[in-house]
Amino acid sequence: MTCSDLSGAEVSGREPFALHASIPDGSDPRLLASDLYQDPPAPESKERAHGTMGTATSPLLAFAVRRRDPELVGPATPTPQDTKRLSDIDDQGTLRGHVSFALVYRGRVPEDGDVAQGDPVSVIRRALGEALVHYYPLAGRLREVEGRKLVVDCTGEGLLFVEADADAYPTTKACCKSLGGTNHWGGSSPCSPPPPSAPERGAGLRPPFPCMDQLLFDVEGSSGILDCPLVLIQVTRLLCGGLVLTLRLNHTICDAIGIAQFMNAVAELARGLPAPTVAPAWSRELLEARSPPIPSFPHREFDVLPPNGDGPPPPPPADDMVMRSFTFSAAHVAAIKKHLPPLLRDTATSYEALTAFLWRARVTALEIAPGEDVQLVIIANFRGFPELSLPDGYYGNACVPANARATAAALLDGSIGDAVALVRQAKAAVTAEYVRSTLDLLVLRGRPCLAVQNNMFVVSDNRHAGFIHVDFGWGEPVYGGPADTIFALGFLVAGKDRYGKDAAVVPIVLPRPAMERFAAEVGKLCKA
């Protein structure tokens, strides 16, 4: 459970805490070892799991979680029992995994004007069933056919749903208040206010989320790609009246925009609308490779970089990784743009400026050898390309990777303007023909993964996906977006700075010494 005491704290994903699960027969509680991303054995149905957690920068926290049996929530009314092919973007190797999202809501006293009434878990469960009538493929199961092609059998079996309650003990009163009340988001905080110059200590809740394995429990047998539920949702009530909705998605079926569209449909139905305002569109046949497939671009992001000199360093050990979130306000973006030449200063987007800064700061932090090639991969959304004819409401994967390359020396010895220009060139390369070329290459190469390696940094902009607007009738979330990230991937997430202004939250994973160097680069930006 995340709290204001942990805001800005460095969490490696390996900090230990003790989880005690009571036994119905009255015997002594058993002690289970756990950490942030490693799930403990599941306690018996409806038992209460007690946990404590402490870090070097926060006091010991105590909480209790009670989970009910997982259940399948299917469409509220009968739906077609057909089979649908995924697109050739959907079933690439890079997307054959799960991604997690979190929506955190304040506690509040219900008012007469509230649209939704009753227990929020019951409201959300009902609305999920109604939404699945419109998004019925999400209630199906994937299987693989010839050529590793993925199809979804629309069986109506349903998505996986977990109901839970988290009780805050007296030692976590501030934690409960920060999640459910207004102090952490606006007025005086129970903790000392962060200095305004430190982006990683900006206002609001953001990754890493300690005890994530209790807020998004990995139900046994649910984490496969084939023949498993495509979506797992856990809704956890907080004692303070707040609510945490966590979601694990099979990435082949939706991208961030697609699953946010589904969750907004659920929210609209929870608020009493008769149907979603955006009608879902499948239309995956529009994103199939040409016959025969003929790539017209090199797509080097799928190639392994040839080593220069002694070659790239080996990947850092997993147990040395730490995650921190950095909150960049409009003032921080303006400080970056101040160092751009006049033409770029007036035309560069916040994405271009911030991505260029993050790329340079990461290469500096990792101390990559000057002669090594470093690669930035941007994830470009192509929904708006008229040549591809994707309809409004398309909820499949509609993004392709594009890359920028330089040697570490060229990137760091050059100006920030040079880096912004490289980001802009990568964006400009993504055209309708580039998308078709990507489809062709994916099929020709057997649906490969990105060639992720130590020198590659992938940036995905989730600020406009729509999570922050998911309102079940009690207000929008105080955090809505990815729940975690990995070493090679950085997200831009919609958030607020300590003054309540719009900002970009960027969770970053690096080896511990590199994280200190990365934070130092951010500190230089603050002073600027």
Marked catalytic residue, from 5, 167, 471, 484: 471
Three-state DSSP string of 299-361: CHHHCCCCCCCCCCCCCCCHHHEEEEEEEEEHHHHHHHHCCCCHHHHHHCCHHHHHHHHHHHH
Q: Which distant-in-sequence residues (6+ apart) come within 8 Å of 27 by Cβ?
A: none
440 is catalytic: no
Tell me how far apart the terminal alpha carbons of the chain are, to the nearest angstrom.
35
Question: Which pairs with CB-CB distance under 8 Å and at least 24 residues apart come from 389-393?
Answer: 389/286, 390/281, 390/283, 390/286, 390/287, 391/281, 391/283, 392/278, 392/279, 392/281, 393/261, 393/278, 393/279, 393/280, 393/281
Marked catalytic residue, from 251, 299, 484, 497: 251
Instruction: Record the tokens describing residue 8, joined without a space.
Output: 């800005």
Distances (CA, A) of 153 to 80, 135, 145, 255, 436: 10, 13, 12, 19, 26
Query: Do the bridges between strand 373-381 and strand 456-461 make them parallel or antiparallel, or are there none, so unpaired?
Result: parallel
484 is catalytic: no
> By the 8 A CB rule, do 252 and 142 touch?
yes
Other C-beta atoms lying within 10 Å of the C-beta of residue 466? 20
Read off φ and ψ for residue 511, nearest 5 degrees.
-60, 150
Distances (CA, A) of 154 to 151, 238, 268, 304, 403: 9, 35, 24, 37, 36
- Which residues are marked as active site? 251, 471
